[in-house]
Amino acid sequence: MKNIIDLIALNVTLGGNEILRNLSLQIPHGQWCSVIGPSGCGKSTLLRAIAGLIPCQFDGMVTEFEAPAFVFQDPTLMPWRSVRENVQLPLELSGAGRTNDLRTASTVVLEAIDQVGLNIEDLEKYPRQLSGGMRMRVSMARALVTQPDVLFMDEPFAALDELLRQQLNQLIHEICSKHDLTTLFVTHNVSEAVYLSDRILIMNHHGAIVSDLEISLSNQREPGIRGSAEYISLVHQVTQRLQEAM
Amino acid sequence: MRGSISQILMPLFFLLLVLSLWQIADSLFDIERLILPSPLEIIQESWKKIDILIAATMVTGKAALSGFAISICLGVTLALLFSTSRLAKQCIYPYMILLQTVPIVAIAPLVIIWFGGGLGSVVVIVTVISVFPIVTNVTTGLTTVDPGLTELMQLYQASRIDVLFKLKLPNAIPYLLTGARISAGLTIVGAVVGEYMAGHFIDNRGLGYYIFMGTQNFQVEVLYASILLSTLLGIAIVGFTAVLGKTILSRWAYTLHQS
């Protein structure tokens, strides 16, 4: 399958500190790739470097995506904008919100809102009127509204309780599968990574990838799989690899 | 409800008590009028000059509001300059801070020499005293934007105009309103100081002029009435700014709560 991201010898130095060193990575189209590792190992930096948000040096970097989207750890909503206006922001920035595509933009916003499980009544609410989980859904809707081909997610569910986290895991996975999205996902939660991923990358303190694991669970995304011996064994195996990296 | 009523009634009751004691003390001890006229004397004398005093309040209010409006425009413009040009900020901003520490009564005579002894000078003095809180607050608002939102704009390749109008300026609104609330109180100080020094050159004289003349001519009742009216004017401007700010800020409540 064609690689949508192809990195050769990526180096990132921020504030004089070498965060990522000589990192090479290929991610095929449609793959859900999770990145785990100890705090400060450069997981988020890797995502930002590939998304073009921070300067980096490389021997080769081919990114075949045209419409990237990012879901941050915090919902990062504009508190002065309603849910509708927040979700619509990427369209406005691309010009769709202020041309005669307004009707189309409105439809796309409604579709995105619907996909993440928000109601139409929530459209005119402001972020302060929403719960943490709802804010994260708005953030997801904003990412989806441009119909992206790559989705970067930087610990988006870290601040949520376990039940809500599992619900949103299920939801985002269904959306990504439906739209055949390539996903690069950073998390600290091994169980979440195993549940969602086709592939898990483990990074060490030196900003290097030390394990590259293919995950091939049967019926992987059925919620019931979390109790299966196969899943538990896999979580245990990845946890061990992670501990070795620390 | 009962709490909010007592919050209004208790200070009023206390004020009434102080005024009554003041009036009784004046009758009992026969205090020299020049030192402390009784509340009734102040009211009687002020009532005779009520037209002049109301006109003076309007003049002072006009000078204060004109300077306030200029401060907001100038303050936001300077803040935009400082937030976009590091060089400008490095060169000018320290002097802005330094100038803020110079007492306004020391600057006022210079302003009168440069701009003449008229309403213009009073407005300039108001602007000088009230522009700093707006510059410093708006500069902070324009530069302390949520890094996640900055990255979001970067991801969608937002133009500089979009970053300014969709992110930086809305982010700076709460800071502008905080600065405006501080400046609002200073505008009356500036207007009264300006009129105190330059007020006699103006046909329509403000409260600062009557404070000056009240002192010079021993018209202590006029002096007291002018002080009271300038205080009420200050409360009105600060109150209006606070209510306006609260209304606008309802959208920003989440941000303020978070910070």
What value does the mean pLDDT of chain A take? Answer: 87
| Contact between B149 and A78 using a beta-carbon 8 Å cutoff | yes
Reported as a pLDDT band with limits 50, 70 and 90, residue B219 is confident
Distance from CA of B89 to the nearest CA of A (A): 22
Would A114 be classed as within a structural domain?
yes
- Residue A19 pLDDT greater than 90, yes or no: no
What are the b/e assignments for A220-230, b being 16+ CB within 10 Å? beeeebeeeee
- Summarize the confidence of residues A173-186 as an average pLDDT: 90
Q: What percent of chain A has pLDDT over 70?
A: 95
Asked if the C-beta of A237 comes within 8 angstroms of chain B's C-beta atoms, the answer is no
- Give the chain A residue whose CA is nearest to the CA of B152: A70
CATH of residue A191's domain is 3.40.50.300
Q: Over 60: is that where the pLDDT of A97 sits?
A: no
Residue A17 lies in a domain: no
Alpha-carbon dihedral B77, B170, B64, B50, rounded to 10 degrees: 160
Burial bucket for residue A122 (CB in 10 Å: 0-12, 13-18, 19+): middle
> Are A52 and B146 inside 8 Å of each other by CB?
no
Domain holding A86, by residue range, is: 31-41+67-245
Tokens 């004397």 belong to which residue? Answer: B41
Q: Is the per-residue pLDDT at B254 higher than 50?
A: no
Q: What is the DSSP string of A134-193?
A: HHHHHHHHHHHTT--SEEEEESTTTTS-HHHHHHHHHHHHHHHHHTT-EEEEE-S-HHHH
CB pairs under 8 A between A and B: 55
Minimal C-alpha gap between B255 and chain A (Å): 6
- Least-confidence region, from A99-113, B6-20, B33-47, B74-88: A99-113
pLDDT at A136 exceeding the cut of 90 = yes
Buried b (16+ CB within 10 A) or exposed e, A22-42: ebebebebbbbbbbbbbeebb
The rounded distance, in Å, linking the Cα atoms of A89 and A144 is 12
The one-letter code for the residue type at B71 is S
Cβ within 8 Å, pair B151-A90:
no
Query: In the prediction, which pLDDT does A103 show?
Result: 64
In percent, the amount of chain A with pLDDT more than 90 equals 32
Residue B248 at interface with chain A, using a CB cutoff of 8 Å:
no
User: Among A52, A93, A127, whose Cβ lies nearest the Cβ of B254?
Assistant: A127
**Could you report the per-residue pLDDT of A213-240, keeping only the tens digit for each?**
888 876 667 777 877 888 888 899 889 8
What's the mean pLDDT in B208-215? Answer: 88
Q: How many CA atoms lie within 13 A of B61 on its CB side?
A: 17
Shortest distance between the Cα of B248 and any Cα of chain A, in A, equals 10
Picking from B146, B152, B257, the nearest residue to A70 by CB comes out as: B152
Q: How many domains does chain A have?
A: 1
How far apart, in whole angstroms, are the C-alpha atoms of residue A210 and residue A201? 8
How is residue A109 written in tokens? 């916003």
Report the mean per-residue pLDDT for chain B: 88
In terms of C-beta density within 10 A (0-12 exposed, 13-18 middle, 19 or more buried), how is residue B230 classed?
A: buried
Count the helices and strands in chain B (H runs, E runs). Answer: 12, 0
Domain ranges of chain B: 47-258
Note whether residue A154 is domain-resident.
yes
Q: What is the pLDDT of residue A101?
A: 63
Distance CA B221, CA B34 (A): 9
Supply the pLDDT for residue B257: 43
Task: State the smallest CA–CA distance between residue B253 and chain A in angstroms.
Answer: 7
Binary contact (B166, A89; C-beta < 8 A): yes
Amino acid at B86: R
For an interface test with A, the pick among B145, B151, B156, B161 (most A C-beta atoms closer than 10 Å) comes out as B156
pLDDT, position A15: 81
Residue A47 inside a domain? The answer is no
Closest chain B C-alpha to A76 CA, distance in angstroms: 6
Rounded CA-CA distance A212/A209 in Å is 7
Query: Is residue B88 within 8 Å of B208, Cβ to Cβ?
Result: no
Task: Provide the percentage of residues in chain B whose pLDDT is more than 90.
Answer: 50
Per the CB < 8 Å rule, is A79 touching B255?
Answer: yes
Tell me which residue of A87, A131, A126, A79 sits closest to A109, measured CA to CA: A87
A52·B155 Cβ contact <8 A: yes
Q: Report, as an integer, the average pLDDT of A118-134.
A: 90
| A60 in contact with chain B, both atoms CB, cutoff 8 A | no
Residue A73 lies in a domain: yes
User: How confident is the model over A121-150, as a mean pLDDT?
Assistant: 91
- Asked whether residue A155 is assigned to any structural domain, the reply reads yes
Q: Is A58 part of any domain?
A: no
- Are B254 and A90 inside 8 Å of each other by CB? no
Whether A100 maps to a domain, the answer reads yes
Average pLDDT over residues B113-130: 89
Predicted TM-score (pTM) of this structure: 0.81
For B239, half-sphere exposure in the C-beta direction (CA atoms, 13 angstrom radius) is 6
pLDDT of residue B236: 94
CATH class of the region B47-258: mainly alpha
Tell me how close the Cα of A225 comes to any Cα of chain B, in angstroms: 34
pLDDT value, residue B179: 94
- Give the count of beta carbons closer than 10 Å to the beta carbon of residue B228: 14
pLDDT of A246 above 70:
yes
From the list A206, A193, A182, the residue with the least C-alpha distance to A29 is: A182
In which band, very low, low, confident or very high, does the pLDDT at B153 lie, cut at 50, 70 and 90?
Answer: very high
The C-alpha atoms of residue A54 and residue A206 are separated, in whole angstroms, by 19
Q: Give the model confidence (pLDDT) of A35-94 as tens digits.
A: 999 888 889 999 999 988 988 887 777 777 788 899 999 999 999 999 999 999 999 988
- Which two tokens mark A180? 């055949």
Q: Retrieve residue B202's tokens.
A: 């103006």
Give dist(CA A6, CA A27) in Å, integer.
Answer: 7
Q: Is A158 on the interface with B (CB under 8 A)?
A: no
Give residue B129's pLDDT: 92
Nearest CA among B75, B128, B76, B140 for reference residue B101: B128
The answer, for A53 touching chain B at a CB cutoff of 8 Å, is yes
Please give the pLDDT value at position B201. 67
Q: A75 near B178, Cβ under 8 Å?
A: no
Is the Cα dihedral B51, B52, B54, B58 positive or negative?
Answer: positive
Q: Which residue has the higher pLDDT, B249 or A219?
A: B249
Looking at residue B256, its pLDDT comes to: 45
Average pLDDT for residues B217-237, to the nearest whole number?
A: 89
Query: Which residues 97-156 of chain B have a CB within 8 Å of chain A?
Result: 146, 148-149, 151-156
Structure tokens at A60: 């080769």
